[in-house]
Amino acid sequence: MMVDLLVLTNLPLGEGFGINTNIFETNVINLAAVVAIVISFVGKNLSALLEDRRKTIVNNLQEASQRAAEAQEKLTQAKNQLELAKKKAKEIREEGILRATQEVNNCVTQHEQRLSKLEEFKQETIQFYQQKAFKQAYMYVISRIMSRVKERLNNGLDATYHVVVNNFYVSRFTEYNN
């Protein structure tokens, strides 16, 4: 109590409790009183709300980090699958080129074999027709000779022809003895 009397005695006269007409000071005092009341009553609730908000933000950040990690993992998997697909495509392309080359070589080989068979067939056909032509010519010549021989035999031998035949046989006999 003594301190209170001292404070009251130190106060200048004319000032004390009463209506303060200075609005700025009144607003500051009122604001301080409201802040003190808000802090005392709402402080715990506000700090609880802020703590909940902080936890929510932290959880959201963790979930975002986890989603980012999952997205990065999926991206890595997609890149690996892309690389595997590129390798597979390259292998398929190389295999296709190899098969196409083999098929072309097989076709060329078969074509060459067919050409050689055709050449053989052509040679056989030419030989067959040559033999046939020779046989026909031979038959023609033989038939002409036979018809002339028959004609000579039917007409008889004249003296000139008799001499030619005898000379032929004499020359053959002479060749045989030599």
CA 89 to each of CA 7, 81, 94, 155: distance values in angstroms, whole numbers, following the listed order: 95, 12, 8, 96
pLDDT at 7 over 50: no
Per the domain annotation, does 12 fall within a domain?
no
Per the domain annotation, does 10 fall within a domain?
no
Whole-number pLDDT of residue 43: 72
Per the domain annotation, does 11 fall within a domain?
no
Other beta carbons within 10 Å of 64: 10
Range(s) of the domain holding residue 146: 19-177
Other beta carbons within 10 Å of 96: 10
**pTM for the whole structure:** 0.40
pLDDT band at 12, cuts 50/70/90? low
Per the domain annotation, does 6 fall within a domain?
no
Per the domain annotation, does 51 fall within a domain?
yes
More confident residue, 127 or 34: 127
Query: Of 176, 153, 177, nearest to 165 (Cα)?
Result: 153
Whole-number pLDDT of residue 2: 39
The residue whose two tokens read 């028959």 is 150
Domain count of the fold of the chain: 1
- Hey, CA dihedral for 23, 25, 28, 29, is it positive or negative? negative
